[in-house]
C-alpha cells in the first residue's frame, strides 16, 4: 500500500528527493528549536484527566464524584474539580485550490510541482509543497494532521490521521489537486467549522483573492476556537506585473474582462495597490493574533519552512 | 498650384474612399492580447484612478487618427504630382540655340582635351542656364537654323528642357533669325515676362539683327560662347571656304558646260563685336590647294592665293560628260588644322544630263523662225536637231517622235503628243481657245518671272493684230494687253507625263518680234523650259531652301509609263532614304545637308543633284563676344529665382514619412493610444 502511495506521489512531483528535503527540514527544526518543540501537545480542553486544572461552580446535573468536598468543608461552597484532559493536537491545513492559484503554471494540465522555464511554480503547487512540509512536521510530532482543499466551498479532504507513514497519503491528496472554481472563503470556512468537531490549528494557504473579503472567514475560525494561521501565497508577477500595451485583462476565476492600455505608471500604481492589499491582510491578522506569513513563489519553499519553524506561531 | 498627375476630383475621390476605410479601421476594436490576472478587482481600482484623464486620452487618440488622415492626405496629394503655381516673378523663356552651319566650327574643348564644336559649347551653356532657372520659369528650346522649330513644348521640367537641348543638331544651313524671332513671338504671345535667350556665335546677317529688338514685347538676351584661351597668335586659324560651285551650259551648245568655283579665306574670327568686326583683319594672303574631281577622280589641282575676306574665282571651261559628280576640295597649304569649319571645304555639283532635242517645224516657210533656231544651237554637233515639214505633210502620228513641235501659221486638228509652240493658232481646233482679235495691240502686262521670258524684253513689240486667248486651267499669261492674254504658256499633266506648250496670238510675219533679240531668246527659253532645264536648277542647290525638283528630268526606262506618283524617294548624302512629297510634277524637299542627292521614282533611273552651303555669312564663322543692334547691346541672361523645386511630391512623401515616424514614436510612448 505504501509502495503504491509512493509511486503516485512521485508521479505528481512528491518524490523521494522531496521527502528527503522534508526530513532534512524536520532535523534542522529539531536542532534549532530543541526543548521548545515536543511531540506531546496538551489541549486546553478540561475534562477527564488526572492533572488538576481548576474549579468551577457546581450546577445541578454535574457528576458528584468531582465535587471538592474539602473546599465545601472550609468555605461552604460547592465547587467542582476540573482536570486537564490530555488529547492529540489537530492540525488542519486548508489549501485554496481556486482558479487564481493556477497562476505561474507552465501550462494547462501540467503536473502540480512542475517548474516553468523561468524556474517558478504555480501558486497551488507552491501551496502544496508548503502544506506537505507542514503535514510532515506535524505527523513527525505525532500530531493529527488533516488536509482540506477548498474553492467556493470545501471540496476535498484528507481525514485527520497521525504517524509519519501517512505522509504518502498527504502527497497523494495534494497531487490530486487541480485549480478550478472561484474563491469563497466565508462559505468554505463556514462549512469547515461546522463539520469539524475537533478544534485545532487551522493553517489557511491561499492568495486570499476573494471579492467578498477574507475577514469574516478568518473570524469564523476564531469564533469557533480554532487557532487560525495564514500563509498568503503570491506570485511576483501578480505583485509587480510587467505588462504593457493594449491588453484585455480577464479574471481567472470569474472571467470578468476589462480592456486596458497599460503604461509604466499604471503598472506601478497596480503594484502599490497590491502591496496595500497584502498589508491590510497582514494588519488584520496581526490585530487578531493570527499568524501571518507572506510566501512568494520565487522563494524556495525550504527557506519558507525554515522561516515558519524559526518564527513559530503555527506549530507549537 | 496645379496638378499634373491625377485630377483634383480623382484625388478627392481617392482620399474620401481611403479616409472612410481608415476611419472604419480606426473605429473597429483592436484585437488585444488576452492576459489572465488572478484578481481583477485590484486592476479596477487602478483603472478607476486613471479614468480621470480619459478625456485627455480620447483627445490623444483622436490626434492619432488625425495624424493618420494627414499622412493619407499627403500620399494622395503626391499622386496628383502637384506643382507650384506661377508667381509674378515667373518668366516664359525661349532658349534659342543657334544650329546653323557656323556652329559646326571647331573650338578647343573647355576641358582642354581635344576639340569641341560651337554647338556643343552652346548646348553646355544652355544646360547650365536651364539648371539655374527658377521654379516659376517656363521654357522651351528652339533650334535656330534655316527653318527654326521648337524642340518640344513649354515646360517647367528641367529634364524635359535638357532633353530638348540634347535634341538640337547642327544643320548645313544658314540661320533665319527673323523667322526665329517671329516664332518666339508666337510662342510667347500673351505669356508673362516673355524672354528670349540666344545661345549663338553671333554670326548673323547684319540686316537681320534689328529683328532682335524690333518691338518692345520681348526681352532678348545674348549668351556669347565661352572665351577659351586661343592658341599661339602666330598659328594660322580661320576658315577657308568654297562659297560657290556653279555649272552652266553654253548658250550655243547646251551639251557643253563650264564650272565656276568661288573661294574665300576668313581669318581668325574677330570677337570684339559687330562694329569692330572686319576692321582689324590680317591682310596676309593664305595659300590653298583647290582640287577638282569628277566621279572621285582628280581632274585638276591648282594652288590659289586667298586674300582675307575676298572672293577668288576659278572657271573650268568646256567640260563635258553629262551626269558626272563634280566635287571641289579646298585645303590650306601647311596649316590643314587651321581650318575651323570643314563643312565648306568641299562643294558638290552634278553635270546635268542633256540629250539632243528633236524639233519639228510645221510651216509653209518662215526664215525668221529657222534663222532663230539656228542661232539657238541647231546643228549636228549641238543640242538641237531641227526638221521642217509643210502643213500638208504634217503627220500627227509621227509627232510624238519629237521633243517639240512648232506650228507656224498652222493649227493641227489635235494637239500633238509632244511639247508644242503655236504661232498664231486659229479656228475652233486651236488648243488655246480664242475670244477675239486686237488690232495693233501693245504689250502692257509681262510675266517677267517665267523662265520663258528670262532675258526677254517685249517692250514696244509691234504687231498688226493679235488673237486674245481664253485662259484654261494650267495656263499662264506671259504677255498681254490690259489683262487680255496675247502670249500664254501652258503646263498640264497628261497620261504620258508633263506636257508644256506655248502660244503666241500673232503671226510672226505681221510683227517686228523676229527682228528683235528677244525672239531667239524666247525660242531658246521655251525649248529649255520644255526640256525641264532651268538654269538655276543646274547641278547644285543651296541648303536652307525648299527645293522644287522637276520630275521631268528623271529618265524613264524604256516602255515604262510615267507614273503619277504623289511621293518620290530621296536618298540623302548620309545614306538615309526618305519619302518626299510631289506636287505638280515637282518633288519638294527642304535641304539641310550638303552633298549628293538621288531622287527616284519607281521604274525610273534616279536623278542626281548636289547641295552646297554657299553662304558666305556662315562660312565667315564669326564669333562675337557681344551683340549690338544699333546702340543697344544685348545683355547676358540672368539666372532665375531658385527658391524651391518645381515638383512637390518628394516633399510630400518626406512629410508623410516624418508624420509616420512621429505617430510611431508617440504610440510607443503611449501618448496616442
Q: What local confidence, expressed as pLDDT, does residue B558 receive?
A: 44
Give per-residue pLDDT as tens, B389-435: 999 999 988 888 898 999 998 999 999 989 999 999 998 899 999 99
Q: Which of A100, A249, A261 sits opposite B35 (nearest CB)?
A: A249
- Mutation site for A-interface testing, chosen from B37, B41, B47, B57 by largest number of A Cβ within 10 Å: B37
Instruction: For an interface test with A, give the residue of B29, B39, B669, B671 to mutate (most A CBs within 10 A).
Output: B39
- How many other CB atoms sit within 10 Å of the CB of residue A130? 23
Q: Has residue B535 got a pLDDT over 60?
A: no
Name the burial class of residue A188, with classes exposed (0-12), middle (13-18) and buried (19+) by CB atoms within 10 angstroms of its CB: buried
Same domain, A306 and A262: yes
Contact yes or no for B373/B523 (Cβ under 8 A): yes
Most confident of A138-142, B236-240, B249-253, B527-531: B527-531
Question: What local confidence, expressed as pLDDT, does residue B430 receive?
Answer: 92
Q: Taking CB atoms and an 8 Å limit, are B47 and A254 in contact across chains?
A: no
* Grid cell locating A132: 506537505
For range A178-183, the mean pLDDT: 90
Edge-to-edge strands, sheet with B286-294: B297-306, B286-294, B325-332, B346-350
Residues 6+ apart with CB under 8 A from B305: B285, B286, B287, B312
Mind listing the domains of chain B with CATH numbers?
Answer: 2-32+51-84+648-668 (no CATH), 92-227 (3.40.50.410), 239-349 (2.60.40.380), 357-530 (3.40.50.880), 544-612 (2.60.40.10)
The residue among B62, B221, B228 whose CA lies nearest residue B671 is B62
pLDDT score recorded for residue B278: 44
Using CB atoms, which residue from B30, B32, B42 is nearest to A277?
Answer: B42
Contact A269 B46 (CB under 8 A): yes
| Entry pTM | 0.53
A260: chain B residues, CB-CB within 8 Å = 43, 47
Neighbours of B100 (CB within 10 A): 29
Nearest residue on chain B to A208, alpha-carbon basis: B39
Helix (H) or strand (E) holding B648: none
Q: Do B38 and A253 touch (CB under 8 A)?
A: yes
Residue A144 in grid coordinates: 493529527
Q: What separation, in Å, do the N-terminal and C-terminal C-alpha atoms of chain B show? A: 36
Question: Hey, of B34, B40, B52, B57, which one would you mutate to test binding to chain A, going by the most A CBs within 10 A of its CB?
Answer: B40
Q: Is residue A263 part of a domain?
A: yes
Residues A61 and A119 in one domain: no
Could you tell me which residue, B549 or B522, shows the higher pLDDT?
B522
Query: Do A268 and A294 sit in the same domain of this protein?
Result: yes
Q: Are residues A55 and A198 in the same domain?
A: no
* Chain A residues with CB-CB distance to B29 below 8 A: 259
Residues A174 and A292 grouped into a single domain = yes
CA distance B30 to chain A (A): 8
Per-residue pLDDT, B144? 93
User: Do residue B33 and residue A277 have CB atoms under 8 angstroms apart?
Assistant: no
* Nearest Cβ partner for B32 among A235, A246, A270: A246
Q: Residue B347's closest CA among B536, B616, B612, B619?
A: B612
C-alpha Rg value of chain B to the nearest Å: 38
What is the distance between the alpha carbons of residues B277 and B280, in angstroms, rounded to a whole number? 7
- CA–CA distances in Å: residue A209 to residues A125, A149, A226: 17, 16, 22
| Residues contacting residue B251 through CB under 8 Å, at least 6 positions apart | B376, B377, B524
Taking the C-alpha atoms of residue A80 and residue B652, their distance in angstroms, rounded to an integer, is 103
Last residue of a domain, one of A84, A112, A147: A84
Of A103, A246, A249, the CB nearest to B40: A249
B30 to chain A: which residues are within 8 Å by CB? 246
Task: With CA atoms as reference, report the closest residue to B101 among B615, B661, B499, B445.
Answer: B615
When CB atoms are compared, the residue of B39, B41, B47 closest to A260 is B47
Domain count, chain A: 2
**B673 has a chain A CB within 8 A of its CB:** yes
B517–A contact, CB cutoff 8 A: no
Nearest Cα of chain A lies from the Cα of B68 at a distance, in angstroms, of: 19
Inter-chain touch A270–B46, beta carbons under 8 Å: yes
Cell numbers standing for residue B359 = 524639233
Distance from CA of B19 to the nearest CA of A (A): 24
Q: Are B136 and B84 in contact (CB under 8 A)?
A: yes
Has residue B672 got a pLDDT over 70?
no
Residues β-bridged to residue A295: A233
Both A247 and A146 in a single domain? yes
> Is residue A306 scored above 70 in pLDDT?
yes
Q: Which helix (H) or strand (E) holds B639?
A: none
Instruction: Answer whether B36 sits within 8 Å of A103, measured CB to CB.
Output: yes
Instruction: Write down the pLDDT at residue A84.
Output: 62
Percent share of chain A, pLDDT over 90: 29
Q: Among A60, A84, A108, identify where a domain stops.
A: A84
Annotate B324-363 with b (16+ C-beta within 10 A) or e (fewer): bbbbbbbbbeebeebbbbebbbbbbbbbbbbeebebbbbb
Whole-number average pLDDT of chain A? 81
Asked if A246 lies within 8 A of B46 by C-beta distance, the reply is: no
The partner residue sitting opposite A238, judged by closest CB among B32, B38, B50, is B38
In this prediction, residue B384 carries a pLDDT of 82
Which of A65-79, B343-357, B451-465 comes out lowest in average pLDDT? B343-357
Q: Does ipTM come in above 0.85?
A: no
Under 8 Å between Cβ of A155 and A187:
no
**A51, A129: one domain:** no
Contact check, Cβ <8 Å, A249/B45: no
The answer, for B35 touching chain A at a CB cutoff of 8 Å, is yes
What is the pLDDT averaged over residues B215-224?
Answer: 85
Under 8 Å between Cβ of B506 and B463: yes
pLDDT of residue B88: 52
pLDDT over threshold 60, residue B667: yes
C-alpha B106/C-alpha B174 separation (Å) is 17
Where among A29, A56, A84 does a domain terminate?
A84
Residue of B nearest to A103 (CA): B38
Q: Which of A178-192, A205-219, A255-269, B263-277 has the lowest mean pLDDT?
A: B263-277
Per-residue model confidence (pLDDT) at position B555: 53
Which of A139-153, A290-304, B548-562 is least confident? B548-562
Same domain flag for A60 and A23? no
Highest mean pLDDT among B155-164, B270-279, B641-650: B155-164
Give the 3-state secondary structure of chain A: CHHHHHHHHHHCCCCHHHHHHHHHHHHHHHHHCCCCCCCCCCCCCEECCCEEEEEEECCCCCCHHHECHHHHHHHCCCEEEEEECCCCCEEEEEEECCHHHHCCCCCCCCCCCCECCCCCECHHHHHHHHHHHHHHHHHHCCCEEEEEEECCCEEEEEEEECCHHHHHHHHHHHHCCCCCCCCCHHHHHHHHHHHCCCCCEEEEEECCCCCCCCHHHHHHHHHCCCEEEEEEEECHHHHCCCCCEEEEEEECCCCCEEEEEECHHHHHHHHHHHHHHHHHHHHHHHHCCCEEEEEECCCCHHHHHHHHHHHCCCCC
A316, part of any domain = no
Contact B270, B308 (CB under 8 A): no
| pLDDT beyond 80 at B169 | yes
Residue with cell 518666339: B184
Q: Do A250 and B33 touch (CB under 8 A)?
A: no
pLDDT at A217: 93
Cα-based angle A99, A104, A107 (whole degrees, multiple of 5) = 80
Most B-contacting residue of A104, A127, A246 (CB-CB within 10 A), to test interface: A246
Q: How far apart are CA B296 and CA B324, in angstroms?
A: 10
Q: What is the Cα–Cα distance from B154 to B142, expressed in whole angstroms?
A: 10
Q: Cα-Cα-Cα-Cα dihedral of B269, B271, B273, B279, to 10°?
A: -50
Residue partners of A23: CB distance under 8 A and separation at least 6: A136
The per-residue pLDDT for A283 is: 94
Q: Is B35–A256 a contact, with Cβ atoms under 8 angstroms apart?
A: no
Dihedral sign from CA coordinates of A145, A149, A155, A156: negative
Please give the pLDDT value at position A8. Answer: 56
Write the residue in B29, B35, B46 that is nearest to A273 by C-beta.
Answer: B46
Count Cβ atoms below 10 Å from residue A57 Cβ, excluding itself: 9
Q: Do A258 and B44 touch (CB under 8 A)?
A: yes
Residue A44's pLDDT is 46
The answer to whether residue B16 scores a pLDDT higher than 90 is yes
* B380/B102: higher pLDDT: B102
| From B32, B38, B42, residue closest to A247, measured CB to CB | B32
Q: Which residue of A has its CA nearest to B34?
A: A248
Does a structural domain hold residue A134?
yes
B70 within 8 A of B659, measured Cβ to Cβ: yes
Burial class (CB in 10 A: 0-12, 13-18, 19+), B614: buried
Pair A102, A74 in one domain = no
Examine the domain organization and report whether A73 and A203 are in the same domain. no
For residue A61, tell me if it sits in a domain. Answer: yes
Listing from the earlier edge strand, what are the strands of the sheet with B219-223? B149-150, B138-144, B92-98, B194-199, B219-223
Pairwise CA distance, residues B418 & B392, whole Å: 19
Give chain B's mean pLDDT: 83
For B50, nearest residue in chain A (alpha carbons): A266
Residue B49 with chain A: CB contacts under 8 Å: 269
Residue A165, pLDDT score: 84
Tell the burial category of B541 from Cβ atoms under 10 Å away from its Cβ (0-12, 13-18, 19+): buried
- Looking at chain B, the whole-number percentage of residues with pLDDT higher than 70 is 84
Same domain, A55 and A133: no
Residue B273 has a pLDDT of 37
pLDDT of B642 > 60? The answer is no
| Secondary element (H or E) of residue B432 | none
DSSP E strands: which ranges in B209-296? 219-223, 238-249, 257-267, 286-294
> Is residue A65 domain-shared with residue A192, that is, in the same domain?
no
Residues near A143 by beta carbon (within 8 Å), at least 6 away in sequence: A39, A41, A88, A89, A90, A91, A162
Residue A186 has pLDDT above 90, yes or no: yes
What is the C-alpha to C-alpha distance for residues B253 and B524, in angstroms, rounded to an integer? 11
CATH of the domain at A171: 3.40.50.410
Residue that is written with C-alpha cell 494622395 in the block: B76
Name the residue in chain A with its Cα closest to that of B51.
Answer: A260
Tell me the average pLDDT across B147-162: 90
Contacts of A258 in chain B (CB under 8 A): 40, 43-44, 47
Q: Which domain holds residue A173?
A: 2-37+88-311
Residue B280 DSSP class? S
Mean per-residue pLDDT, A33-57? 55
> Residues A262, A266, A268, A273: is their CA dihedral positive or negative?
negative
Q: Which residue has the higher pLDDT, B433 or A246?
A: B433
- Name the interface residues of A facing B (CB cutoff 8 Å): 100, 103, 123, 207, 209, 211, 235, 238, 241, 243, 245-254, 256-261, 263, 266, 269-270, 273-274, 277
Indicate yes or no: CB of A246 within 8 angstroms of CB of B43. Answer: no
What is the per-residue pLDDT for A16? 73
Angle at which helices B649-668 and B54-79 cross, to 10° = 160
Amino acid at each position: 500500500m505504501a509502495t503504491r502511495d509512493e509511486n503516485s506521489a512521485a508521479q505528481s512531483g512528491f518524490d523521494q528527493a522531496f521527502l528527503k528535503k522534508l526530513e532534512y527540514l524536520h532535523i534542522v527544526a529539531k536542532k534549532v528549536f530543541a526543548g521548545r518543540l515536543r511531540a506531546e501537545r496538551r489541549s486546553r480542553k478540561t475534562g477527564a484527566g488526572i492533572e488538576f486544572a481548576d474549579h468551577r461552580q457546581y450546577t445541578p446535573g454535574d457528576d458528584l464524584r468531582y465535587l471538592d468536598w474539602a473546599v465545601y468543608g472550609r468555605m461552604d461552597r460547592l465547587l467542582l474539580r476540573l482536570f486537564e484532559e490530555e488529547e492529540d493536537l489537530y492540525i488542519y491545513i486548508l489549501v485554496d485550490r481556486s482558479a487564481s492559484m493556477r497562476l505561474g503554471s507552465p501550462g494547462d494540465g501540467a503536473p502540480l510541482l512542475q517548474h516553468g522555464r523561468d524556474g517558478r511554480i504555480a501558486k497551488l503547487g507552491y501551496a502544496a509543497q508548503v502544506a506537505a512540509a507542514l503535514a510532515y512536521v506535524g505527523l513527525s510530532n505525532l500530531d493529527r494532521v488533516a488536509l482540506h482543499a477548498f474553492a467556493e466551498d470545501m471540496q476535498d479532504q484528507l481525514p485527520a490521521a497521525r504517524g509519519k507513514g501517512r505522509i504518502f497519503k498527504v502527497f497523494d491528496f495534494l497531487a490530486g489537486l487541480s485549480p478550478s472554481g472561484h474563491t469563497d472563503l466565508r462559505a468554505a470556512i463556514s462549512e469547515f467549522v461546522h463539520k469539524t468537531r475537533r478544534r485545532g490549528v487551522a493553517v489557511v494557504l491561499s492568495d486570499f483573492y476573494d471579492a467578498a473579503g477574507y475577514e469574516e472567514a478568518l473570524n469564523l475560525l476564531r469564533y469557533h476556537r480554532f487557532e487560525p494561521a495564514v500563509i498568503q501565497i503570491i506570485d511576483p508577477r501578480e505583485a509587480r506585473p510587467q505588462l504593457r500595451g493594449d491588453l484585455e485583462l480577464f479574471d481567472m476565476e470569474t472571467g470578468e474582462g476589462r480592456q486596458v492600455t497599460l503604461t509604466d505608471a499604471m503598472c506601478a500604481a497596480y503594484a502599490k495597490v497590491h502591496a496595500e492589499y497584502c498589508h491590510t491582510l497582514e494588519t488584520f491578522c496581526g490585530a487578531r493574533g493570527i499568524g501571518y506569513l507572506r510566501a512568494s513563489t520565487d522563494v524556495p519553499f525550504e527557506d519558507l519552512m525554515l522561516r515558519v519553524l524559526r518564527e513559530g506561531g503555527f506549530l507549537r | 498650384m496645379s496638378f499634373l498627375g491625377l485630377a483634383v476630383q480623382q484625388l478627392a475621390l481617392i482620399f474620401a474612399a481611403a479616409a472612410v476605410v481608415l476611419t472604419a479601421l480606426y473605429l473597429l476594436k483592436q484585437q488585444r492580447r488576452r492576459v489572465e490576472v488572478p484578481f481583477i478587482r485590484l486592476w479596477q481600482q487602478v483603472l478607476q484612478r486613471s479614468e480621470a484623464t480619459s478625456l485627455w486620452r480620447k483627445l490623444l487618440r483622436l490626434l492619432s487618427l488625425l495624424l493618420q488622415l494627414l499622412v493619407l492626405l499627403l500620399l494622395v496629394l503626391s499622386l496628383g504630382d502637384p506643382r507650384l503655381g506661377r508667381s509674378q516673378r515667373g518668366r516664359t523663356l525661349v532658349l534659342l540655340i543657334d544650329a546653323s552651319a557656323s556652329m559646326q566650327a571647331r573650338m578647343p574643348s573647355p576641358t582642354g582635351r581635344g576639340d569641341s564644336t560651337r554647338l556643343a559649347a552652346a548646348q553646355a551653356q544652355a544646360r547650365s542656364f536651364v539648371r539655374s532657372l527658377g521654379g516659376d520659369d517656363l521654357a522651351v528650346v528652339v533650334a535656330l537654323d534655316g527653318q527654326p522649330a521648337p524642340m518640344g513644348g513649354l515646360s517647367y521640367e528641367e529634364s524635359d528642357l535638357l532633353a530638348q537641348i540634347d535634341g538640337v543638331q547642327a544643320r548645313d544651313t544658314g540661320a533665319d533669325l527673323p523667322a526665329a524671332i517671329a516664332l518666339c513671338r508666337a510662342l510667347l504671345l500673351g505669356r508673362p515676362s516673355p524672354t528670349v535667350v540666344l545661345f549663338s556665335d553671333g554670326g548673323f546677317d547684319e540686316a537681320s539683327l534689328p529683328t532682335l529688338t524690333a518691338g518692345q514685347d520681348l526681352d532678348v538676351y545674348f549668351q556669347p560662347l565661352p572665351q577659351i584661351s586661343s592658341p599661339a597668335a602666330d598659328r594660322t586659324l580661320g576658315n577657308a571656304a568654297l562659297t560657290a560651285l556653279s555649272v552652266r551650259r553654253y548658250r550655243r551648245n547646251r551639251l557643253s558646260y563650264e564650272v565656276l568655283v568661288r573661294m574665300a579665306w576668313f581669318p581668325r574670327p574677330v570677337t570684339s563685336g559687330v562694329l569692330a568686326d572686319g576692321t582689324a583683319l590680317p591682310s596676309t594672303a593664305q595659300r590653298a590647294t583647290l582640287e577638282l574631281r569628277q566621279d572621285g577622280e582628280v581632274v585638276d589641282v591648282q594652288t590659289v592665293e586667298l586674300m582675307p575676306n575676298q572672293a577668288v574665282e576659278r572657271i573650268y571651261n568646256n567640260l563635258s560628260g553629262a551626269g558626272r559628280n563634280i566635287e571641289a576640295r579646298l585645303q590650306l597649304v601647311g596649316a590643314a588644322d587651321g581650318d575651323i569649319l570643314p563643312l565648306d571645304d568641299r562643294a558638290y555639283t552634278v553635270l546635268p544630263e542633256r540629250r539632243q532635242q528633236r524639233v519639228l517645224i510645221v510651216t509653209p516657210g518662215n526664215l525668221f523662225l529657222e534663222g532663230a533656231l539656228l542661232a539657238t544651237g541647231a546643228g549636228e554637233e549641238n543640242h538641237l536637231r531641227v526638221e521642217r515639214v509643210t502643213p500638208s505633210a504634217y503627220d500627227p502620228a509621227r509627232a510624238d517622235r519629237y521633243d517639240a513641235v512648232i506650228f507656224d501659221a498652222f493649227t493641227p486638228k489635235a494637239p500633238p503628243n509632244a511639247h508644242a509652240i503655236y504661232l498664231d493658232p486659229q479656228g475652233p481646233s486651236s488648243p488655246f481657245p480664242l475670244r477675239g482679235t486686237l488690232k495693233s495691240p501693245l504689250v502692257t502686262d509681262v510675266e517677267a518671272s517665267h523662265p520663258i521670258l528670262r532675258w526677254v524684253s517685249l517692250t514696244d513689240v509691234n504687231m498688226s493684230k493679235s488673237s486674245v486667248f481664253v485662259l484654261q486651267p494650267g495656263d499662264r499669261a506671259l504677255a498681254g494687253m490690259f489683262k487680255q492674254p496675247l502670249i500664254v504658256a501652258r503646263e498640264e499633266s497628261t497620261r504620258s507625263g508633263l506636257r508644256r506648250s506655248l502660244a503666241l496670238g500673232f503671226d510672226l510675219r505681221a510683227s517686228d518680234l523676229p527682228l528683235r533679240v528677244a525672239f531667239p531668246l524666247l525660242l531658246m527659253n521655251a525649248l529649255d523650259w520644255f526640256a525641264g532645264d532651268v538654269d538655276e536648277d543646274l547641278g547644285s542647290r543651296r541648303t536652307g531652301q525648299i527645293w522644287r525638283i522637276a520630275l521631268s528630268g528623271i529618265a524613264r526606262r524604256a516602255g515604262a509609263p510615267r507614273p503619277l506618283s504623289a511621293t518620290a524617294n530621296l536618298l540623302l548624302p548620309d545614306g538615309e532614304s526618305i519619302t518626299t512629297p510631289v506636287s505638280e510634277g515637282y518633288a519638294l524637299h527642304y535641304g539641310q545637308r550638303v552633298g549628293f542627292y538621288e531622287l527616284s521614282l519607281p521604274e525610273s533611273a534616279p536623278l542626281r543633284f548636289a547641295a552646297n552651303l554657299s553662304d558666305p555669312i556662315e562660312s565667315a564663322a564669326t564669333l562675337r563676344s557681344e551683340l549690338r543692334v544699333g546702340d543697344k547691346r544685348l545683355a547676358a541672361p540672368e539666372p532665375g529665382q531658385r527658391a524651391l523645386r518645381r515638383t512637390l511630391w518628394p516633399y510630400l512623401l518626406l512629410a508623410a514619412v516624418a508624420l509616420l515616424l512621429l505617430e510611431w514614436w508617440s504610440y510607443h510612448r503611449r501618448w496616442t493610444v
